[in-house]
Amino acid sequence: MRESLFIKIFLICLTCLFVAGVMSDSFAQDRFPRPEFDSEYQKPHTHAPGPQAKFFEIFDIFLLATLLGLTSYFVLKKRSRRAVFWISIFSLGYFGFYREGCVCAVGSLQNVSAALFLPSYVLPIGVIAFFILPLAFALFFGRTFCASVCPLGCMQDVVMLKPVKVPHWLSEVLGVLPYLYLGFAVLFATTGSAFIICRYDPFVSIFRLSNDFGTILYSAGFVGLSVFVARPYCRFLCPYGVLLGWMSSLSKKHASITPDYCTQCRLCEGSCDFGSIHKPSNGRIPERKAKSVKRLATLFILAPVMIIVSGWAVSNLDVLLSRMHPTVRTAEQVKLEDAGLVNQTTLESRTFRRMGTETSALYSEAQAIQKKFHTGGWFLGGFLGLFFATKLIRLSVLRPRIDYEINQTSCFSCARCFMSCPNEHIRLETLKGASLEPVERVS
């Protein structure tokens, strides 16, 4: 092109021939021929170690059912705290530290929700069993799963050294969180966004003894908290506990404090660190009856309003919540990049562009997900509204109770309170010769 132009013109033809011969082939998958060897060399096979999942799947179901049965037997029939404790140590060791936490019943509720709503989602039998078995047991025998089968519960149980008494009002307020968690977990699972229960599981990184630093700190914090607050995750976060609580409240045979009858001796009053013992109550409301009736009536009328308002509010969080879905995040990033509103690209947006899919397809997909969140938001909000209405109604009525009773919804069937009952000691004949007269029942 420059000084020695004419000399170079001669070279063009030569170059052309050379270039045409060599450069025309485009790179295909097999750029290099697979060699034929002259020597005895044999190509090795790619080693592919199989998963253990298949064996463990059946074994785990079997073990789960056995442990649930055993716990129910020891809680209801034998009333043995010691047995429950050793079963919980075993579960912690096996389901926790040996099987390293997956799959667990708590997380399985996401798989089941996803399977019900996502057409392509595959649900293995192990996951269904882990979801259904504890619930079925709870429906008949109370939350024996929580007592000594759930590795998360057992973890908190064994580190519980100096539990403080959480005030009733606070535990009622914090008791809202599991419902929120459940609602959001189902919403995120059914939209295919994320399994938040698994992602924010506080104990799994301890079972695995590895994770990033932040997660380990979070886990350590939860364990530290469990020393002073009895089972904080079970009571104030666990979404599966909500379902178990529903089942347990209907359970046919639930553990009771006394093996026989209550003498109202008050000795069991402080024995439950989870606040699951109802004290006797005279059932009298110290205010004008009209006031209580009016309050109840208002709540009943307000209930549908609460459902609709909260449904509307949550459905309007669709844009925000949908960002939990990776596709929506990528779509937003790509949109912002195209609009020149951000300077930095992300690995996701770069990968998307490299894949060469049309942006319009990405946008439509993301918008469809947002729509799902909008609809799902109505259901979630409605559910939460209904929950609040029910909770307020429940707190506005008073049931007379003669005896010390177990709160079947929140009781973990841990069997701790049994030994505080004098009648239990009589049953076990640890108080030789003693017998207690029943107190006169007042209605």
Token couple for 405: 């009773």
Q: How far is the CB of 325 from other proteins (least distance, A)?
A: 11
55 vs 78 by CB, closer to other proteins: 55
Q: Which is nearer to other proteins, 83 or 159 (CB)?
A: 159
Q: What is the maximum span of the chain, computed from C-alpha positions, in angstroms?
A: 125
Q: Which two tokens stand for residue 127?
A: 């996951």
State the minimum distance, in angstroms, from the CB of residue 99 to other proteins. Answer: 9
Residue 427, C-beta contacts closer than 8 angstroms, at least 6 positions apart:
79, 259, 260
359-394 helix and 289-315 helix, angle to the nearest 10 degrees: 170
Q: Which residue number, 73 or 172, has a Cβ lying nearer to other proteins?
A: 172
Q: How far is the CB of 335 from other proteins (least distance, A)?
A: 5
- Residue ranges in 61-90 that form contacts with other proteins under rule CB under 8 A: none
Confirm or reject binding of residue 293 to other proteins (CB under 8 A).
Answer: no
Work out how close the CB of 260 gets to other proteins at its nearest, in angstroms, rounded to a whole number. Answer: 18
Write the DSSP symbol of residue 167: P
CB of 391 to other proteins, least distance (A): 6
Q: Binding of other proteins at residue 303 (CB under 8 A)? A: no
- Rank residues 81 and 208 by Cβ distance to other proteins and give the closer one: 208
Least Cβ distance, residue 165 to other proteins (angstroms): 13
Q: What is the dihedral of CA 210, 213, 214, 215, to 10 degrees?
A: 0
Among 83, 159, 386, 436, binds other proteins (CB under 8 A): 159
Query: CB of residue 73 vs other proteins: minimum separation in angstroms?
Result: 20
Q: What character string, x for contact with other proteins (CB under 8 A) and - otherwise, covers 198-227?
A: xx----xxx-xxxx-x--------------
Distance CA 55, CA 64 (A): 14
Give, to the nearest 10 degrees, the angle between helix 176-190 and helix 359-394. Answer: 150
Q: Which is nearer to other proteins, 41 or 429 (CB)?
A: 41
CA distance 346 to 365: 19
Query: Footprint of other proteins on residues 316-355 (CB under 8 A)?
Result: 316-317, 319-320, 326, 328, 330-332, 335-341, 343-345, 347-348, 350-355
Binding residue for other proteins (CB under 8 A) from 64, 72, 87, 107? 107
On whether the CB atoms of residues 122 and 40 are closer than 8 A, the answer is no
169 binds other proteins (CB under 8 A): yes
Q: Which is nearer to other proteins, 266 or 294 (CB)?
A: 266
Amino acid at the residue 316: N
* Surface-to-core class of residue 65, CB atoms within 10 Å of its CB (0-12 exposed, 13-18 middle, 19+ buried): middle
User: CB 438 → other proteins: shortest distance, Å?
Assistant: 17
435 counts as binding other proteins under rule CB under 8 A:
no
Q: Which C-beta is closer to other proteins: that of 356 or that of 433?
A: 356
Nearest to 234 by CA among 104, 84, 114: 104
297 Cβ partners below 8 Å, 6+ apart? none
Distance CA 69, CA 72 (A): 5
Among positions 111, 144, 191, 258, the unique one binding other proteins when judged by CB under 8 A: 111
Q: What angle do CA 302, 239, 221 make, to 5 degrees?
A: 120
